[in-house]
Amino acid sequence: MSESRDVKVLGVWASPFVMRARIALNLKQVSYDFLQETSFLTEKSELLLKSNPIHKKVPVLIHNEKPICESLVIVEYIDDVWTSAPSIFPCHPHDRAIARFWAAYIDEKWFPSMKGISTAQGKGAKKAAIDQVIEGLVLLEEAFVKSSKGKPFFGGEQIGYLDIALGCFLAWLRVSEKMHGVKLLDQAKTPGLVKWAERFCEDPAVKGVMPETDKLLEFAKILFAKMRANLPK
């Protein structure tokens, strides 16, 4: 197919945002070159700086030499371009708005609260940060129940936009659980999401791109050590 002739994703294996772009392309069965930023923590490649001069961040999708930036914008673009494959977005405008609403909530509120666990100083702050993440997951559980209407995913029978927006964080969620000895996704409070998480990770579109928890845990330890070293004293 001519549209798939030149599709590249600039990214890093550990980034949940990069995963979004890759999952979306996989869902559409579009082959692409995954160009990894190898020195991402220290130095960004020329291609990245040229393709995303404003934010200098991954992911960048380069389609027929044109760059598209910002993970959720990329996912929408993929859905807009490859229309013959199953739709990532729901059909009805209101359902689309709900999906966008929760994706924005995940990026603006929930993910920052996840990061908050690692930066919290002291037991009290850590517990408060963990509680906040769980509260967010409880809201997302309700959203899941409403959105899925008894089906396996937020998107229904198949993975959709909101599945991608949240599911990309599952490996990091497990890393957080291991690092801090807590259960964030919990059978008691978020039973729907617990089962959904298993289904999401098993999906062929996700399996190849979701990092293994142990590998990510090792990476996280190095990353946090570097971040702590860089904190102002």
Partner 1 sequence: MADEVKLFGVWGSPFSRRVEIALKLKGVNYEFFEEDLSNKSALLLKYNPIYKKVPTLVHNGKAIAESQIILEYIDETWKNSPILPKDPYERAQARFWARFIDEKLMPTLWKVFWGCEDHDKVKEEAKEHLETLENELKDKKFFGGETVGLVDIVGNFIAYWVPRIQEASGLVLLTEEKYPKLYQWSHEFENHGDVKVKLPPNDKLLAYIKSRLEGVSTSK
Site residues (CB under 8 A) for partner 1? 54, 63, 66, 68-70, 73-74, 76-77, 80-81, 93-94, 96-97, 100-101, 104-105, 139
Sheet of strand 60-63, all strands in order from the earlier edge strand to the far edge: 33-36, 7-11, 60-63, 66-69
Q: Give 108's contacts (C-beta < 8 A, 6+ positions apart).
A: none
Residue 60, SS3?
strand
Amino acid identity at 119 = T
Among residues 224, 226, 112, 230, which one has the least CA distance to residue 178? 224
What is the nearest approach in angstroms of partner 1 to the Cβ of residue 107?
A: 10
The nearer residue to partner 1, 21 or 171, going by C-beta atoms, is: 21
What is the nearest approach in angstroms of partner 1 to the Cβ of residue 210?
A: 25
The nearer residue to partner 1, 46 or 108, going by C-beta atoms, is: 108
What is the nearest approach in angstroms of partner 1 to the Cβ of residue 142?
A: 10
- Where do we find the tokens 């929760």? 102
